[in-house]
Amino acid sequence: MSATMKYIFAGLCLLLSTCNIRAHQHQALQCWHCSSATVGSDGFCGVTFQEDNIPYEQLKESNSNPLRTCNSSINSDHERPVCRKTVDETNDGKLITKRFCYYTNKSDPVELCNMTKPDNNMRRIFCEDCLSDRCNGSALPGRPQIVRSCYFGDISHTETGCRADPALPFVKQMSCDVCAKDECNGSSSLAPIAGAILLFFGVARLLA
């Protein structure tokens, strides 16, 4: 191979490597990174994300950026970045919302987040992983979910039992029904829920 061909070949390799790096950077996931317990973030990083309230100038002075690109130091074919949002309750009843990059196994369902444990002296209220840019800043936490469980009480007076937990103010319950036959809560006729199911990330409080 002549010297000229070697230079051309080396140049093509360099160009392909650069394109690959840029493509990888373009595909990198961007997530909101903040905590409502941090001074300066409490005004926008609550249960409902307030992007218009982000004090960019104030955060710039502290070299803080609420938008992060998820970059893992571990190059693994089994790992993927996700945007995570958690809501925990302290012992004194204060809600703390956190948003950040997290890394999970590609084989793990995003619902696995709800099985994680919070820090000590905290109660996990909500946890959600998502896979698109800035998705952990969504206005409504959670995706529609159907919850089926046993009900103990008077089925002719289900108003109390079907009431959503008042400790979870951001839960919007779309439908609730009670039936008295074996396995009847598996019927699709119970609820017009296919499109307007239950925007419910936890279990509704069923009181007798």
Domain regions of the chain by residue span: 28-137, 144-208
Q: What is the DSSP string of 92-161?
A: TS-EEEEEEEEEEETTS-GGGGGG---STTEEEEEEEEE-STTGGG-SS-S----------S-TT--TTT
Arithmetic mean of pLDDT, 87-111: 90
Between 208 and 47, residue with greater pLDDT: 47
Distance (Å) of CA 34 to CA 64, 185, 192: 10, 40, 37
- Looking at per-residue pLDDT, the higher value among 185 and 145 belongs to 185
Burial of 185 (0-12, 13-18, 19+ CB in 10 A): middle
Q: Determine the average pLDDT of the residues in 3-8.
A: 59
CB atoms within 10 A of CB 128: 21
CATH classification code of 28-137:
2.10.60.10
Average pLDDT over residues 100-117: 86
Q: For residue 189, name the pLDDT band (cuts at 50, 70, 90).
A: very low
Across 48-60, b (16+ Cβ under 10 Å) vs e yields ebeeeebeeeeee
Helix (H) or strand (E) holding 53: none
**pLDDT for residue 140 is more than 70:** no
User: Residue 199 carries which DSSP code?
Assistant: B
Q: Give residue 100's pLDDT.
A: 95
Percent of the chain with pLDDT over 90: 26
**Averaged pLDDT, 104-131:** 85
pTM for the structure as a whole: 0.58
Average of pLDDT values for 175-179? 79
